[in-house]
């Protein structure tokens, strides 16, 4: 493990930019004092914020640019306009050049994925990267991927996601052999699309030493925490994520409305407020912020754009953990060693159209 972790921050990404990124970095530095930061963005916006955090200032270096990727930019537009000049690109470039171990951005998701994939390329054996997040469950947390980086995927892609997710879970949960499930419409082996059934057969047959494949998991199994890793392609994964986030907000609103309906309800809340606080902490979106772009030849973490400083600090923490415990090397070893996960999986045929 490296003694220092160097983190490049896109200080112009997200809804607010440096006003959230800098205090978020200060919070994370308090938890990980051995971190060094590259702050990429407009110096005139970064320095006033940095002056409020002397300890962070001593651990940071500014890379100046006044070019930012807009939240409305399409990925192709971002590549054309922001390549080699934007704060997002330069943060990724620091990883490419070995000046940083990980890049963190709260900017445009599509642009970040496009720039990271274009500049860093994918790991050997990986056709497409994935957005991966740690999802709160009834029994702790679960690593879920892909949450929307790409749409669709053959069996080889799903197996690669399983391996990458298991590598991340081994870091996050400190487990030698994390359990892995494939998201499906039922648990029976005959259900689901052909590529899901085929991926399940491959994972069961190869019996990889780095993961414990438990079979298919239905949608409600994510929240139940039935596996350390839940694998799905990006279309289904993004729907599951948005549905879960919407349900959480709906439940919070319903609960708030019911508590305020009568004095008896408000009295009951006073007696149960410790339980309500524990529930609020469990479902706090700040604490599950930070999606890792897995499958790239470099570490990149995506933060929510509208997050506060505490939430952005959690995204930095995710990047710190992934770099500190050498996630990329773990994935590479699992995918590409002799007899590895993808050695017996046929490559998808080329499209001749």
CA 331 to chain centre: 15
User: CA–CA separation, 323 vs 272, rounded Å?
Assistant: 40
Question: Where do we find the tokens 């963005």?
Answer: 41
Are the beta carbons of 121 and 114 closer than 8 angstroms?
no
* Coil vs helix vs strand at 119: helix
pLDDT digits (tens, 9 = 90+) for 58-101: 999 999 999 999 888 888 888 888 888 999 999 999 999 999 99
Average pLDDT of the residues in 126-144? 88
Please name which of 18, 54, 337, 346 lies closest in space to residue 9, comparing C-alpha atoms.
18
How far is the CA of 56 from the CAs of 15, 22, 68, 221, 242, in angstroms? 22, 8, 23, 41, 35
pLDDT digits (tens, 9 = 90+) for 325-351: 888 888 887 777 655 556 655 554 444
pTM of the model: 0.85
CA 225 to chain centre: 18
Are the beta carbons of 224 and 137 closer than 8 angstroms?
yes
Q: Which residues of 83-111 are buried (b: 16+ CB within 10 A; e: fewer)?
A: eeebbbbbbbbbbbeeebbbbbbbbbbbb
Are the beta carbons of 116 and 92 closer than 8 angstroms?
yes
* Backbone Cα Rg of the chain: 21
């Amino acid at each position: 493990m490296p003694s220092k972790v160097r983190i490049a921050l896109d200080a112009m990404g997200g809804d607010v930019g440096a006003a959230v990124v800098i205090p978020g970095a200060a919070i994370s530095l308090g938890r990980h004092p051995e971190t060094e930061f590259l702050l990429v963005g407009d110096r005139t916006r970064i320095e006033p914020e940095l002056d409020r955090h002397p300890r962070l200032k001593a651990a940071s270096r500014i890379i100046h640019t006044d070019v930012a990727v807009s939240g409305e930019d399409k990925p192709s537009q971002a590549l054309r306009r922001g390549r080699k000049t934007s704060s997002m690109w330069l943060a990724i470039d620091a990883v490419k050049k070995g000046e940083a171990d990980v890049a963190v951005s709260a900017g445009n998701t599509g642009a970040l994925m496009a720039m990271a994939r274009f500049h860093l390329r994918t790991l050997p054996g990986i056709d497409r990267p994935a957005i991966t997040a740690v999802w709160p469950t009834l029994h702790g947390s679960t690593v879920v991927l892909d949450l929307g980086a790409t749409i669709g995927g053959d069996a080889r892609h799903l197996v690669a996601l399983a391996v990458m997710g298991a590598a991340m879970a081994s870091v996050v949960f400190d487990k030698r052999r994390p359990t892995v499930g494939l998201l499906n419409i039922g648990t029976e082996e005959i259900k689901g699309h052909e590529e899901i059934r085929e991926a399940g057969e491959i994972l069961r047959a190869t019996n990889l030493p780095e993961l414990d494949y438990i079979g298919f998991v239905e949608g409600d199994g994510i929240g139940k925490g039935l596996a350390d890793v839940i694998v799905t392609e990006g279309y289904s994964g993004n729907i599951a994520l948005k549905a879960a986030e919407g349900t959480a907000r709906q439940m919070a609103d319903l609960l708030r409305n019911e508590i305020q309906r009568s004095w008896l309800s408000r009295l009951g809340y006073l007696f149960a407020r410790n339980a309500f606080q524990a529930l609020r902490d469990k479902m706090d979106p700040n604490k599950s912020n930070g999606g890792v772009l897995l499958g790239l030849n470099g570490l990149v973490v995506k933060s929510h754009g509208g997050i506060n400083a505490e939430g952005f600090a959690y995204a930095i923490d995710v990047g710190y953990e992934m770099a500190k415990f050498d996630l990329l090397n773990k994935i590479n070893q699992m995918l590409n060693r002799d007899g590895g996960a993808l050695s017996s999986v046929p490559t998808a045929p080329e499209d001749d159209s």
